[in-house]
Amino acid sequence: MNNYIKYDNQVSWGRTLHASHEIAFPKFSSQLENIIKQGSANKNGLLAIGMGRSYGDSCLNDNGAVIDMTALNRLISFDEKTGVLFAQAGISLEDILDFSIPRGFFLPVTPGTRYVTLGGAIANDVHGKNHSNAGTIGNFVNEIGLMRTDGSFHKLTPNKNIGLFKATIGGLGLTGVITYVGLKLKPIKSSLMDAETIKFANLDEFFSLAKESEKNFEYSVAWIDCLAKGESLGRGLFSRANHSINGDLSIEKGLSLPDIPIDAPNFALNRFSIAAFNQVYYAAGGRKKDLSQISCFPFFYPLDFIGKWNKLYGKRGMYQYQSVVPTDVAKDATKEMLEQIAKAAQGSFLVVLKTLGKIPSTGYMSFPFEGTTLALDFPNKGKSTLDLLARLDDIVKEARGRNYPAKDGRISAQMIEAGYPQLKKFEKYIDEGMNSSFWRRIKGK
C-alpha cells in the first residue's frame, strides 16, 4: 500500500517558494518504518516536516517525498521532579505549554512563535530572547529518537552517538526522521512576566541597554525602525523581562484576531506606509509604563495573535533576512546593514535586533554564536530586493558572520560554506535517503 498522495502547492511561510510533493500523514509511530522506506525510494529523497513555519526552502522537498509529522503529537512521559518531558516530534510548542504551565514549567528556550513542532524546533536548534543566559534549545535536549532510511533506529544523547546527536540538532531534518524528544523544561512560579519597554534613540543606546540588561533580566529583545537615518539610525524599543514570582499558573493567551482572509495588495507595504507605522509605533513606545506584569504569551509570541499574518505581504510573499555577526564588529556591521536598508527604502515594520550570548550551540549547523543578530522581513519586490539582500550578505560575510537557513530561501552555497565551519563534520552524518530543496540548492544537486 502506498501511503503517499500527490500535493502540488506546498508553500514556505515566506510564500516566495513553492513545491510539489508526495506527502504522507502518519497517525501512529508504528507506521513510520514503512512510510520512511517508501519515501526514501523517491529520486529526490525524503524530508520530515512540521507546521511549515520555516520561511525559506528548508521545509520543502520539491518533486520529492515529505512526511507530515503533526499527527504524531502525543506526550509520552513527564517527570515533575526533574522537569524532563518526553514527547513525539510532531507535538507543537503550544501543546507543550498548555500541559506544562499549569504544572509550573515553561519551555527552556522558545522562538517567536509557538506554532512549531518540537521536532522542527530541534532540527533548527531554535533560540529565543534568553540566549544570553540559556543558549539554544539543543542545550536542554536529553534524548532524541532518530529513524534512518536504512531502517535503523538510534537513541541519541549528549553522551551517546555524540556525532549524530550534534548533527541532528540544527541539522534541518537531513540526518533522519526525529521520532521523539526528551526535553528538560524550566520551573516557573507564575505564568506572568515582569516586563518593561524602554525607548532608545540609536544603536549606541541599544548596545548599552543590551549590556545592562544581561545582568538583571533573563529575556531581552529590541524592535527597531529600519528606515530611520542619521543620528536616529537604529532607534527603537527595548523589551526585557523575567518570569514573575507573583501570580498563578493560569494560561492567559489573550485576544486572537481572525486569520488574514486574503492577500494584502502589493502596494500596501511601501516605504511610506512602513515609515508611517514605524514613526507612530516608536512614538507610542515612549508612553509605555515601567516594569509591570503581563501574560507570557503576548511577550513571547506577539505575532501569533494574527492568524496567517504572512498574507500581509501580498501574493508575491516576503523574504526574511536573519544574520549574526561577532561582538567585536557587531556595531559597525549592524550600522552598515541598516544604512543599506534605509537607503534602499525597503524592509518592514517587523524588525528585531538582539545580542546573543557566549554559551556555545550544540549542533554542527546551529545558527547562533556570540554576537548580534538582526532579523527583518522584506516584501518581495523581485530583483531590487534580491540585490539588497546580496549587499547585506557581503557585509555579513566580511564581518565573519552567518545567515539562518530556516529563515532565508536564497542563501548561497558560498555563504553557508563561509559561515558554518563545521559543515564538513555535519555532512558525514547526513542520511543519504533524506533531502530538501534547500540542500539540493546549496549542493547543486
- Answer whether residue 335 is part of any domain: yes
Q: Is residue 260 pLDDT above 70, yes or no?
A: no
Global pTM reads: 0.94
- Answer whether residue 233 is part of any domain: yes
- Answer whether residue 274 is part of any domain: yes
Domain count, the chain: 1
pLDDT at residue 407 in the model: 87
Lowest-pLDDT range, 45-49, 283-287, 392-396?
Answer: 283-287
Q: Is residue 280 pLDDT above 80, yes or no?
A: no
pLDDT at residue 125 in the model: 98
Q: 165-179 pLDDT, tens per residue?
A: 999 999 999 999 999
Grade residue 129 by pLDDT with cuts at 50, 70 and 90: very high
Phi first, then psi: give them for residue 113, nearest 5 degrees.
-140, 145
| Summary mean pLDDT of the chain | 92
pLDDT at residue 347 in the model: 77
pLDDT at residue 255 in the model: 61
Which domain range does residue 299 map to? 192-410
pLDDT at residue 286 in the model: 57
pLDDT at residue 285 in the model: 67
Q: 38-62 pLDDT, tens per residue?
A: 999 999 999 999 999 998 899 999 9
Residue 399's Cβ-count burial label (10 Å; 0-12, 13-18, 19+) is buried
pLDDT at residue 371 in the model: 98
Q: Is residue 422 pLDDT above 70, yes or no?
A: yes
- Answer whether residue 357 is part of any domain: yes
| Look-up of cell digits 549524530 | 164
CATH of the domain at 351: 3.30.70.2520
Q: Going by C-beta distance under 8 Å and a sequence separation of 6 or more, which residues neighbour residue 105?
A: 83, 85, 185, 186, 187, 188
- Answer whether residue 161 is part of any domain: no
326 vs 265 pLDDT, higher one:
326
pLDDT at residue 257 in the model: 56
What proportion of the chain, given as a percentage, has pLDDT over 70? 92
Contact by Cβ (8 Å): 120, 88? no
Q: Is residue 242 pLDDT above 90, yes or no?
A: yes
- Answer whether residue 262 is part of any domain: yes
Q: Is residue 356 pLDDT above 60, yes or no?
A: yes
- Answer whether residue 185 is part of any domain: no
In angstroms, rounded to a whole number, what is the distance separating the alpha carbons of residues 352 and 336? 16
pLDDT at residue 101 in the model: 98
pLDDT at residue 277 in the model: 63
Q: 6-20 pLDDT, tens per residue?
A: 988 888 888 888 899
Q: Is residue 272 pLDDT above 60, yes or no?
A: no
Q: Considering all CA atoms of the chain, what is the largest pairwise distance in Å, rounded to the nearest integer?
A: 66
Q: Is residue 113 pLDDT above 70, yes or no?
A: yes
- Answer whether residue 338 is part of any domain: yes
Grade residue 304 by pLDDT with cuts at 50, 70 and 90: confident
